[in-house]
């Protein structure tokens, strides 16, 4: 029990029935109904419905178990238990649908503890609606159950499971040491590891897992699989970031065996599994991930020596780890024949552990594919391709037309495993043994979450990140939603670019000789069109009006209108290379926006002026507003570098990113009248750019925090009407250093350009990207978001391996299976600084 969490024992003593299902927080007693097993080594299961319909979060557990009574117990979450009885023999399975492990406890092993602020998501549309408790009784004494603390409010961190599993290991008979290696590149948002679990059958000696970063190996966990197979805490905090490698090794010995041992589900097969419990920020959370191949065999030349050293296990611990059953020694015959026939013919139930992959891989749950064994077929590459096909749903409900394939494939319905039965609808049992208690006022923790129906994440498949660009200063989308980039080629803005009067000092370099305006296909980053060669010195702002490009140049102190294929500007505002503050001059103008209805032109001016100027569609001066920020808090209409403009035609407003004041100010287009300010602490002191999407969304990016301040550089999504932050986002590949402009489309695709990194990121909403993380090579498969879907049944997967036989789905008589039964600072760019203050008098 995590003593740092405010969940005192006084709140958990009652066995009173449920009073209300509308409680926001509660403690749930999951109690076996006075069961006394008839014999030791009994597996019993019971279920409890989640007493709320909405999404909730399990944040803590407390077991009520005696080491003298219970060998191990597991708590699963699922939507349909295998039985509606008060309790049942776990041979019937735990869940009919996909399930996931929430909690594990084993004799002589520490209980799973979630870090503060971390919760397993249950209920709602994505979490399980039932808890299923599986207890392995080591004795025939009675046992009560588990208490689970459940919060109704969103938790800032969500727990999940990453499974590393070898699928093609072969252990030769008599071989003293056999290594099974697994490795995958991690391609998601950061996750923090807090617990691990290892699993093999009887030949496993030690299993180790590591994070590999810059060729440095960091231990996640190392354990003997012959010890109680619970989750053990990660001793030292380990985080995993994009492009790290997760690597695991299982060490086996084939001594005592007379035939090859393959990966499979029987007592005579082996397994090599390394589980990782992790947590992620809620908005990035993925519940399940898996790694099934060795994507980088070469790295294992440098694996720490400890990974090859077996961990000694005392004989009494070995008995406890395997349910008191000793393995019969091989006396020269096949090891298969040395086992009791009843044990030999039994196969582990797949309804619990393997359903971790069921939810992950999304196979139909009413059909199970079982392949007859063919020793000559299904190589490693074929198996990997098979997983990929299952993931992509290419071989699930296909018509089998080939006669040989039909002969070698059995579609098993409503027979092999009870959780595949879909004809009947499970109704919540009326007689359940649990109590619901409300924690005392103030217990638990509940973080106010950004509201909204979507989350934005980087589109990591987009190749535009690899474009060779200069300092990226401006972005826009044209009428066809193509991405338009304004960059500085081989010119840079640094401390030598301007004198104290803002006159450009590097005219001798001449204009930029590269095309500064690039038009890209937003899907594949293919260059469609380019222009702007020999026209600009220091590009800055960009917007698109129909087929025209509007740009500003801070060195020229000018604003230009360019046709898509015109060699000369169609309209020029300002006087070249002459800074000024009157109606005909600008001083480092930052951005330009054009009213699509009236054609009015709005210019933010700029680094050394603090105003917004309106011109007619012909370029005639109309009016201006704004003034320098006074001492103290900035007042409405005052600017400290008006840096970016977003025209809001839906509301006839113009919003300005008031950069050094760290805020957005919005004004009426016709009058320049101040409407409101949008300012959040998370903006920090600088807000660089703002963009509007029809339908009511504002997108923005901030700047690097000042020394001693903590607000990170990130993108923001806001509700325009309320100003509320809906979401924040950061890239996976590379990092923001000075994100300079942002543009978004109506489908919530977002592009951000960075002057320091000299690149453009593409982001997309989760709804658009929900199938993107499934990798065709089958190396790493990640959660496919959304309702429904079934899962890949690994019985089918193991059935395709050499040496595998299917004799039914009953559990083996030795504990340890993975069915949990028997077997188992300062900115370098000059523009980052405001103009120097006037000398004090």
Give residue 653's pLDDT. Answer: 97
User: Mean pLDDT, to the nearest integer, of 469-480?
Assistant: 97
Reply yes or no on whether 71 is catalytic.
Answer: yes
CA distance 752 to 766: 17
For the ranges 520-529, 703-712, 751-760, the lowest mean pLDDT is seen at 703-712
* Per annotation, catalytic residue among 32, 46, 72, 801: 72
User: Mean pLDDT, to the nearest integer, of 813-821?
Assistant: 31
Q: How confident is the model over 237-261, as pLDDT tens digits?
A: 899 999 999 999 999 999 999 999 9
Report the percentage of the chain scoring pLDDT > 90: 51
CB proximity list for 39: less than 8 A, separation 6 or greater: 140
Q: How confident is the model over 322-347, as pLDDT tens digits?
A: 543 333 334 333 433 343 333 333 33
Q: How confident is the model over 212-228, as pLDDT tens digits?
A: 999 999 999 999 998 87
pLDDT band of 641, cuts 50, 70, 90: very high
Give residue 84's pLDDT. Answer: 92
Reply yes or no on whether the pLDDT at 211 is more than 80: yes
* Per annotation, catalytic residue among 32, 46, 73, 134: 134
838/145: higher pLDDT: 145
What is the edge-to-edge ordering of all strands in the sheet holding 472-477? 472-477, 483-487, 517-520, 527-531
Give residue 107's pLDDT. Answer: 64
For the ranges 326-330, 692-696, 729-733, the lowest mean pLDDT is seen at 326-330
Give residue 108's pLDDT. Answer: 60
pLDDT band of 103, cuts 50, 70, 90: confident
User: Mean pLDDT, to the nearest integer, of 156-180?
Assistant: 94
pLDDT band of 230, cuts 50, 70, 90: confident
Q: How confident is the model over 535-549, as pLDDT tens digits?
A: 999 999 999 998 899
Give residue 285's pLDDT. Answer: 86
Matching CATH topology for 19-155 and 456-775? no
607 is in an annotated binding site: yes
If one counts every other C-beta atom within 10 angstroms of the C-beta of residue 600, the result is 18
CATH of the structural domain 456-775, one choice from 1.25.40.10, 2.60.120.460, 2.120.10.30, 3.10.28.10: 2.120.10.30
CA distance 710 to 721: 28
User: Architecture of 160-311 per CATH?
Assistant: Sandwich (2.60)
Reply yes or no on whether 271 is catalytic.
Answer: yes
User: Mean pLDDT, to the nearest integer, of 8-28?
Assistant: 45
Beta bridge pairs of residue 698: 692, 718
Q: Residues for the chain: how many in total? A: 841
Give residue 257's pLDDT. Answer: 95
The dihedral built from the CA positions of residue 794, 797, 798 and 799, taken in this order, carries a sign that is positive
542 is in an annotated binding site: yes
pLDDT band of 816, cuts 50, 70, 90: very low
324 is in an annotated binding site: no
pLDDT band of 585, cuts 50, 70, 90: very high
- Contact (Cβ atoms closer than 8 angstroms) between residue 637 and residue 625: yes
CA distance 604 to 591: 5
Reply yes or no on whether 819 is catalytic.
Answer: no
Reply yes or no on whether the pLDDT at 437 is more than 80: no
CA distance 529 to 592: 22
CA distance 703 to 694: 25
CATH class of 19-155: mainly beta
Give residue 152's pLDDT. Answer: 79
**Mean pLDDT rounded to a whole number for the chain:** 76
Give residue 593's pLDDT. Answer: 98
Reply yes or no on whether 782 is catalytic.
Answer: no
Reply yes or no on whether 371 is catalytic.
Answer: no
Give residue 705's pLDDT. Answer: 92
Question: Nearest 5°: CA angle at 386, between 253 and 100?
Answer: 70
Residue that the structure tokens 């809001």 belong to: 648
User: Mean pLDDT, to the nearest integer, of 317-322?
Assistant: 54
Spell out the domain ranges in the chain.
19-155, 160-311, 456-775
* Per annotation, catalytic residue among 46, 71, 73, 289: 71
453 is in an annotated binding site: no
557 is in an annotated binding site: no
- Contact (Cβ atoms closer than 8 angstroms) between residue 727 and residue 456: yes
Give residue 400's pLDDT. Answer: 29
Reply yes or no on whether 216 is catalytic.
Answer: no
For the ranges 375-379, 415-419, 563-567, 696-700, the lowest mean pLDDT is seen at 415-419
- Contact (Cβ atoms closer than 8 angstroms) between residue 101 and residue 74: yes
827 is in an annotated binding site: no
CB proximity list for 631: less than 8 A, separation 6 or greater: none
Give residue 788's region: left, alpha or beta (phi > 0; psi -120 to 50).
Answer: left
157 is in an annotated binding site: no
Residue that the structure tokens 């570098």 belong to: 641
* Per annotation, catalytic residue among 32, 73, 113, 136: 136
CA distance 99 to 359: 7
Reply yes or no on whether 614 is catalytic.
Answer: no
Max mean pLDDT range (18-32, 126-140, 476-490): 476-490
- The burial of 810, by beta-carbon neighbours within 10 Å (0-12 exposed, 13-18 middle, 19 or more buried), is given as middle
* Per annotation, catalytic residue among 73, 164, 165, 199: 199
- Contact (Cβ atoms closer than 8 angstroms) between residue 387 and residue 822: no
309/394: higher pLDDT: 309
Reply yes or no on whether the pLDDT at 352 is more than 90: no
Reply yes or no on whether the pLDDT at 422 is more than 60: no
Question: Nearest 5°: CA angle at 562, between 604 and 667?
Answer: 25
């Amino acid at each position: 029990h995590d003593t740092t969490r405010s969940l005192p024992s006084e709140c958990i003593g009652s066995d009173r029935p449920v009073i209300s299902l509308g409680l926001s927080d509660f403690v749930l007693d999951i109690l076996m109904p006075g069961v006394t097993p008839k014999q030791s080594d009994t597996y019993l299961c019971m279920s409890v419905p989640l007493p709320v319909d909405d999404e909730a979060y399990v944040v803590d557990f407390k077991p009520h178990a005696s080491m003298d009574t219970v060998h191990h117990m597991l708590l699963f979450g699922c939507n349909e238990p295998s039985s509606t009885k008060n309790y049942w023999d776990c041979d019937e399975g735990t869940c009919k649908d996909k399930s996931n492990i929430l909690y594990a406890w084993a004799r002589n092993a520490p209980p799973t503890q979630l870090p503060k602020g971390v919760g397993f998501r249950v209920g709602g549309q994505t979490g399980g609606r039932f808890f299923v408790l599986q207890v392995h009784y080591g004795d025939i004494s009675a046992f009560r159950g588990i208490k689970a603390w459940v919060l109704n409010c969103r938790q800032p961190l969500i727990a999940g499971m990453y499974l590393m599993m070898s699928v093609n290991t072969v252990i030769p008979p008599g071989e003293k040491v056999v290594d099974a290696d697994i490795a995958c590149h991690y391609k998601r948002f950061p996750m923090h590891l807090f617990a691990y679990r290892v699993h093999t059958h009887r030949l496993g000696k030690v299993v180790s897992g590591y994070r590999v970063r810059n060729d440095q190996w960091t231990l996640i966990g190392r354990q003997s699989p012959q010890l109680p197979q619970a989750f053990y805490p990660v001793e030292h905090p380990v985080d995993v970031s994009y492009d790290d490698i997760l690597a695991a090794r299982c060490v086996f010995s084939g001594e005592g065996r007379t035939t090859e041992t393959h990966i499979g589900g029987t007592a005579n097969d082996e397994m090599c599994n390394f589980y990782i419990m992790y947590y992620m920020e809620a908005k990035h959370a993925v519940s399940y991930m898996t790694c099934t191949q060795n994507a980088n065999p070469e790295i294992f030349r440098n694996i720490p020596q400890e990974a090859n050293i077996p961990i000694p296990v005392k004989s009494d611990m070995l008995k406890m780890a395997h349910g008191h059953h000793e393995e019969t020694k091989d006396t020269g015959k096949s090891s298969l024949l040395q086992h009791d026939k009843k044990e030999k013919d039994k196969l582990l139930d797949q309804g619990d552990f393997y359903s971790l992959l069921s939810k992950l891989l999304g196979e139909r749950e009413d059909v199970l594919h079982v392949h007859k064994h063919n020793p000559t077929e299904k190589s490693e590459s074929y198996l990997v391709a098979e997983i990929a096909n299952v993931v992509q749903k290419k071989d699930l409900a296909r018509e089998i037309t080939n006669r040989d394939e039909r002969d070698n494939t059995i579609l098993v319905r409503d027979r092999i495993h009870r959780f595949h039965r879909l004809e009947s609808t499970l109704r919540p049992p009326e007689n359940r043994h649990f109590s619901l208690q409300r924690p005392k006022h103030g217990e638990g923790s509940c973080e106010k979450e950004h509201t909204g129906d979507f989350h934005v994440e980087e589109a990591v498949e987009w190749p535009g990140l690899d474009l060779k660009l200069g300092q990226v200063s401006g972005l826009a989308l044209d009428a066809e939603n193509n991405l338009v980039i304004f960059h500085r080629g081989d010119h840079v803005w640094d401390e030598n670019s301007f004198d104290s009067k803002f006159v450009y000092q590097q005219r001798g370099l001449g204009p930029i000789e590269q095309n500064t305006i690039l038009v890209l296909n937003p899907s594949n980053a293919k260059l469609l069109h380019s222009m702007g060669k020999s026209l600009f010195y220091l590009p800055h702002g960009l917007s698109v009006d129909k087929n025209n490009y509007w740009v500003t140049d801070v060195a020229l102190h000018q604003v230009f209108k360019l046709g898509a294929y015109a060699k000369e500007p169609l309209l020029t505002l300002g006087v070249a290379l002459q800074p000024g503050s009157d109606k005909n001059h600008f001083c480092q103008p930052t951005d330009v926006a054009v009213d699509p209805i009236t054609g009015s032109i709005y210019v933010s001016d700029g680094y050394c002026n603090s105003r917004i100027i309106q011109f007619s569609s012909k370029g005639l001066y109309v009016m201006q507003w704004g003034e320098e920020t006074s001492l103290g808090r900035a007042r409405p209409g005052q600017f400290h570098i008006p840096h970016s403009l977003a025209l809001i035609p839906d509301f006839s407003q113009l919003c300005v990113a008031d950069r050094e004041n760290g805020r957005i100010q919005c004004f009426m287009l016709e009058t320049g009248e101040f409407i409101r300010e949008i300012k959040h602490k998370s903006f920090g002191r600088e807000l660089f750019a703002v963009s509007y999407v029809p339908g009511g969304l504002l997108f923005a990016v901030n700047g690097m925090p000042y020394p001693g301040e903590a607000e990170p550089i990130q993108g923001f999504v806001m509700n325009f009407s309320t100003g509320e932050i809906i979401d924040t986002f950061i890239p996976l590949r590379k990092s923001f250093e000075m994100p300079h402009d942002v543009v978004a489309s109506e489908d919530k695709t977002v592009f951000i350009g960075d002057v320091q990194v000299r690149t453009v990121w593409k982001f997309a909403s989760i709804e658009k990207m929900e199938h993107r993380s499934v990798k065709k090579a089958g190396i790493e498969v990640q959660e496919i978001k959304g309702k429904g879907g079934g899962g890949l049944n690994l019985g089918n997967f193991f059935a395709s391996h050499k040496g595998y036989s299917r004799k039914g789905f009953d559990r083996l008589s030795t504990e340890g299976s993975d069915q949990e039964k028997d077997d188992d600072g300062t900115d370098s760019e000059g523009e980052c600084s405001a103009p120097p203050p006037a000398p004090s008098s």
